[in-house]
Copies of this chain bind each other. A is one copy, B any other.
Amino acid sequence: MDGVLADIYAQYIKFEKEFSGIQKQVQELSGLPEPEAFPKCLEYVNTPGFFREAPPIKDSIEGLKWLNLQFKVLIVSSATQFPQSLKEKFDWLQEYYPFISWEQMIFCGKKNSILGDVMIDDHPKNLDPFNGQKLLFTQPHNTGISNSGYIRVENWIEIIKYLS
């Protein structure tokens, strides 16, 4: 969800400006782990509203709508580390992706006990234990990773092309 549907970097950048007065550009963050790019990122994600007010990633609404017609889609989101995010994430999904039902949502701690054929995620730690095909969705923190175990997708257009 975060970094594939929810534009978390837009929120990081907004919070960095508000909390620290520093205006970062997404281009300068390429290859940096999130805690290096935003040293206060844990504080940001624990702030009420952080997840609820994130903008959707470009083309993710139309893209997920298409996926949802072709496949049995589950939205699996790491959320229990930040318990206030649970309801925020539910409400956010309902606002932007109302075609996703409550039956398709999984809010978890770790993603290593989820069954499926294809996982789309921006974090290798989530993809690595998965048994199916692994699509690494490009986000600034993962640009330096080249692992033949993942299919890299740069955006939602590439997801659709790969899964068509």
Contacts and interface: CB of A to CB of B under 8 A. Distances in A.
A143 to B, nearest CB: 27
Interface string A89-132: 01100000000011111111110011110000000000000000
A90 to B, nearest CB: 5
A84 interface: yes
B83 A87 contact: yes
Chain A interface residue bracket vs B:
20 to 34
A74 B79 CA distance: 15
Contacts of A64: none
Given A114-B115, A115-B114, A115-B115, A83 B109 contact: no
8 contacts: A80-B105, A84-B87, A86-B90, A105-B108, A105-B109, A107-B108, A113-B115, A114-B114
